Chains A and B, each alone.
Chain A
Amino acid sequence: DAGVTQSPTHLIKTRGQHVTLRCSPISGHKSVSWYQQVLGQGPQFIFQYYEKEERGRGNFPDRFSARQFPNYSSELNVNALLLGDSALYLCASSFYSGGLLGETQYFGPGTRLLVL
């Protein structure tokens, strides 16, 4: 079975631009979570979606938005990019609660975003 897939793997943008990152969860998983990982730090929670509804949101500005599609894949959108948005963006899938109730989360390889 395929694991969590993310695209693109790498991306270079300039300040002020917009970016869309994509994630496909493991087959059968209905929950997708997004994380931002700055170099040398642990992942920071951005969003969790379950059955196409937002179930959790981290402390990120409104420039960050996401959605989940009927096939449970997900997009993360970031508007008006800043230099500080440069990071590894990770997507994780799980059955239901995004790990809160103890089920395993499976992470994708991430999208490395560089903002110049």
Chain B
Amino acid sequence: KNQVEQSPQSLIILEGKNCTLQCNYTVSPFSNLRWYKQDTGRGPVSLTIMTFSENTKSNGRYTATLDADTKQSSLHITASQLSDSASYICVAAGTALIFGKGTTLSVSS
């Protein structure tokens, strides 16, 4: 069964700290993996897209990694800001886009 699992379900960190979100996927065939940021009540916004041959991709303070052998991805956020508070969704693409349930990140001052 094609599925994407994310951990943790929720996370609270202090402003300025770093954090890492995890994503495990079982999607076959596999084409690409993407991370989205979704603010409450808004549509998701793309952060990174990686094909199966890419290991890492950065977008400002966001760095995603991909291990296609172990079918794992991570999203690392550096020097968190209050505006990083959102849900972060991992999506694996095969014959369809399979979305994870997301990790809810809260950054406090």
Contact = CB atoms under 8 A, between A and B. Distances in A.
Interface of A: 4, 33, 35, 40-45, 56, 58, 88, 90, 92, 98-102, 104-110, 112
Interface residues of B, number: 24
A44 B44 CA distance: 13
Interface of B: 4, 31-32, 34, 36, 41-46, 49, 51, 89, 91, 93-97, 99-102
23 contacts: A4-B43, A33-B97, A40-B101, A41-B102, A43-B89, A88-B41, A90-B43, A90-B44, A92-B43, A99-B93, A101-B32, A102-B49, A102-B51, A102-B93, A104-B49, A105-B97, A107-B36, A107-B43, A109-B41, A109-B43, A110-B41, A110-B43, A112-B41
A102 B44 CA distance: 16
Contacts of A105: 46, 97
B10 to A, nearest CB: 11
Which are the 10 A-B pairs with shortest beta-carbon distances? A107-B43, A42-B99, A102-B32, A42-B101, A43-B99, A107-B44, A104-B46, A109-B43, A42-B100, A108-B43
A104 to B, nearest CB: 5
Which applies to chain B's interface (DSSP): helix, strand, loop or mixed? strand
B45 A107 contact: yes
Contacts of B100: 42
Contacts of A90: 43-44
Contacts of A112: 41
A4 to B, nearest CB: 7
Contacts of B97: 33, 45, 98-100, 105
